[in-house]
Amino acid sequence: MILAAANTFRAGLVQLRSGRAIARNMEMAEALIRRAAAEGAVYVQTPENTSIMELETDRLLSAIDTEGKSEPLRQLQALAKELGIWLHVGSLAMKLPSGKVANRSYLITPQGEIAARYDKLHMFDVDLAGGESYRESRNFDPGNKAVLADLPWGRLGLSICYDLRFPALYRALASAGADIIAVPAAFTKQTGEAHWRVLLRARAIETGAYVLAAAQGGLHENGRSTYGHSMIVSPWGEVLAEAGEDPQILLADIDLGLSAETRAKIPSLKHGREFEVEIGGAKLPPKREGS
């Protein structure tokens, strides 16, 4: 371990360009995870869709399995145990009893055990300029709960990609004690160029938490282009490290004392208030900031 203090650690992000071949994707992911660990990372995060990037329903369902039979998950659990690291798998596609798929994050302990699972809450259903169209809900069932987990250095809040556009989720995670927030992603190139950087910085500033976001980048076999630019952002909104578009690792030393200092300077998490919403004299049910 590079740093000695109890609330400091080295984080590593793995940027990928996953395709349709799971074995090839896993080979690249493993090589980069090993490199990050060799550089002193004790927490390593991979992006959304680590094992496969596939839009066609039949191709996706024929390539994946249920959690109990997932070879990529078993392989990553073994790797975390071998390297003695906390391995945060941004997401794997898992078959569900409903016939659809879960877009599921896994936090794996240095003993190779699953410490937390998180199913992506918000589905990316959108038509973009230029003819791009995505219907994530066609293949995936959304999750129904926010998830946090305790690392040796602090509390981690889990999210995935499109969740980034829903600030109430991040306020809820921070209010529940998260001083690190993960946003593994496969942001489209078009929306990423416009919004990725500013949204990550905004979530860090709003919550006073570190934001760690491993991303997919480049042109994929299925024809989709993702933005890349994996990023580590401080609680003050400073970009500590940023990748380009190609597969690579990103490293930064995280000092969670900075999260406590930032929240002491700007204690907005304590200042949320209940308020009414009025439209033309008619009042809607009371709301509370962050809910």
Just list the catalytic residues.
48, 120, 161
- DSSP letter (8 states) at residue 275: E
Token pair 């909104």 is at which residue? 237
- Using an 8 Å Cβ cutoff, are 183 and 212 in contact? yes
Number of Cβ within 10 Å of residue 151's Cβ equals 18
In 3D space, the residue among 77, 75, 17, 78 whose CA is nearest the CA of residue 50 turns out to be: 17
Cα 223 from Cα 145, distance rounded (Å): 32
The torsion angles phi and psi of 251, rounded to 5 degrees, stand at -130, 145
Distances (CA, A) of 172 to 149, 151, 257: 14, 18, 20
